[in-house]
Amino acid sequence: MPDWLTHVVIALFFAELFRIEKKSLVVLGALLPDFLSKLHLIFFYLGISEYLTFSLLHTPMMVFLVILLIAPLFRYSQKKVVLWLGLGAVTHFVFDVTMRHFEAGMHLLYPFTFTMYSLNWIWPNDSFYLMGGSLLAYFLLLLYRNNGKAFRNVFK
């Protein structure tokens, strides 16, 4: 997986692109799959991790169910909360599936199949490039939004 900073910046980019009011929800959605799969650490320290697996919580279906379950925690338009958390989660999975492994991948279609999918493009430690690209895209978008006229003149 890319590091969390890359996930956060990509989520912020899309939150800014779609002019989303609550950017933190998109960022939460982008980190949620990793938060859920890291739950095993609690049970690891309790010494009962052998009997429980949380790895399949890092799947689109399970994350979507968790989003539906946590949405009522927010006193806000439920449709917007689900949509924004979902957008963040989608960015997470899209960028995770580009990661390269010798043998691994993501159970993208769980519970329909246990097949693992990966595009095998980028080693996780090379996510510096993704981070750089996403930071550049985010700052260009901010620049465009805050000084649109001046930015458009560059391309005239």
Partner 1 sequence: MQYAKVRYCLVLILFVLLFAHQNVWNQDRERFHIDRFIEDPLTYGNHTGQRFGKIVVVQPETFDFNDGDKVIRIEGSGVVASTLGETVIFLDYRLDGRMVLIDYHNYDYNYVLYGLSLVAFVYFLYLFFREWILTKRGFRNA
Residues at the site binding partner 1, with contacts judged by CB under 8 A: 3-5, 7-8, 22-24, 27-28, 31, 51-53, 55-57, 61-62, 65-66, 68-69, 72-76, 101-104, 110-111, 114, 123-125, 127-128, 131
In the complex with partner 1, which residue's Cβ is closer, 76 or 147?
76
Yes or no: say if 27 and 8 are a contact pair by the CB < 8 Å rule: yes
Q: How far apart are CA 62 and CA 74, in angstroms?
A: 19
114's tokens: 């246990």
DSSP 42-70: HHHHHT-GGG---GGGSSHHHHHHHHHHH
In the complex with partner 1, which residue's Cβ is closer, 94 or 150?
94
Q: How far apart are CA 66 and CA 10, in angstroms?
A: 21
In the complex with partner 1, which residue's Cβ is closer, 111 or 148?
111
* Least CB distance to partner 1 at residue 131 (A): 8
* Least CB distance to partner 1 at residue 43 (A): 11
* Least CB distance to partner 1 at residue 156 (A): 35
* Least CB distance to partner 1 at residue 144 (A): 21
